[in-house]
C-alpha cells in the first residue's frame, strides 16, 4: 500500500470516482430523493476538500485501487468562516483553540490497517504544524475505538436529538 496526496495523482478522474464510491459506501445517509440532492450532499461533506484542499487529501492505494482516504484542514476556524460549520462543528467552538485541525477518513474495508496508515501519514506530514486535531463522530458509528487507539480522547458531547449524540474527540500534540 502506498499513500499519496491528491495533488500527486496524475489521472484524477478514476481516483476521484473511487473516492466518491467509498464516501457513499460509508455514509450514514444512503437514500437521496434526486441525483442533485446526492451531489449536494457529496459537495458539502467531501467535495470541498477535493476542490480546495488537494494538498490535504491523502489516498491509500494498492494495485491501482483506492483503499481509503483521509482529508483534513489545519485551521477549522478558517474553514468555518469560508464554508460554514459542518455537522456539529458549530456546537464545539470552545474546543477548537486546543484542537484546531480536523479530519475525515473512510476506507473500503476495516481491519487492514488502512485508517492507521493514513492517520500516521497525516501525523508525519502535519503534526508539527498544529497543537491538536479533532474529529466529530457518534457512538453508534463504530469508529470510536479506532480513534481511541490513535490516542484521541473524549473532550465534549452534544445531544443533537434523542437518537443522535455527537462526540468531540481530540488529540493534542503539545507543540510550542
Does the pLDDT at position 131 exceed 90? yes
- Give the structural domain span for 165: 2-172
Give the residue from 121, 154, 124, 119 showing the smallest Cα distance to 139. 154
The pLDDT of residue 44 is 87
Quote the number of domains for the chain: 1
**Are the C-beta atoms of residues 32 and 16 closer than 8 Å to each other?**
no
29, 67, 68 from 110: Cα distances, Å: 19, 10, 10
Compute CA 46 distance to the chain's CA centroid, rounded to the nearest angstrom. Answer: 8
What whole-number percentage of the chain has pLDDT above 90? 61
pTM for this one? 0.89
Helix (H) or strand (E) holding 2: strand 2-5
The grid coordinates of residue 18 equal 473511487
In this prediction, residues 64-69 reach a mean pLDDT of 95
Question: What pLDDT digit, counting tens, does each position of 37-61 carry?
Answer: 999 989 988 999 999 988 999 999 9
Phi, psi of 105 (to 5 degrees): -145, 140
- Label residue 176 by pLDDT band (50, 70, 90): low
Does the pLDDT at position 175 exceed 70? no
Taking all residues of the chain, what is their mean pLDDT, rounded to a whole number?
90
Which CATH number does the domain housing residue 137 bear?
A: 3.40.630.30
Radius of gyration of the chain (CA): 16
Amino acid at each position: 500500500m502506498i499513500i499519496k496526496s491528491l495533488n500527486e495523482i496524475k489521472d484524477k478522474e478514476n481516483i476521484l470516482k473511487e473516492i466518491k464510491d467509498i464516501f457513499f459506501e460509508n455514509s450514514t445517509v444512503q437514500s437521496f430523493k434526486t441525483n442533485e440532492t446526492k451531489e449536494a450532499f457529496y459537495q458539502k461533506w467531501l467535495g470541498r476538500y477535493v476542490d480546495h484542499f488537494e494538498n490535504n487529501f491523502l489516498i491509500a492505494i494498492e494495485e491501482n485501487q483506492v483503499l481509503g482516504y483521509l482529508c483534513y484542514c489545519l485551521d477549522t476556524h478558517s474553514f468555518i468562516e469560508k464554508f460554514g460549520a459542518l455537522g456539529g462543528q458549530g456546537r464545539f467552538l470552545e474546543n477548537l483553540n486546543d484542537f484546531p485541525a480536523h479530519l475525515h477518513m473512510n476506507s473500503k474495508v476495516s481491519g487492514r490497517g488502512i485508517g492507521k496508515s493514513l492517520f500516521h501519514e497525516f501525523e508525519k506530514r502535519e503534526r508539527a504544524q498544529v497543537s491538536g486535531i479533532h474529529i466529530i463522530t457518534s457512538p453508534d458509528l463504530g469508529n470510536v475505538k479506532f480513534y481511541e487507539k490513535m490516542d484521541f480522547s473524549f473532550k465534549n458531547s452534544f445531544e443533537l436529538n434523542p437518537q443522535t449524540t455527537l462526540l468531540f474527540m481530540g488529540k493534542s500534540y503539545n507543540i510550542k
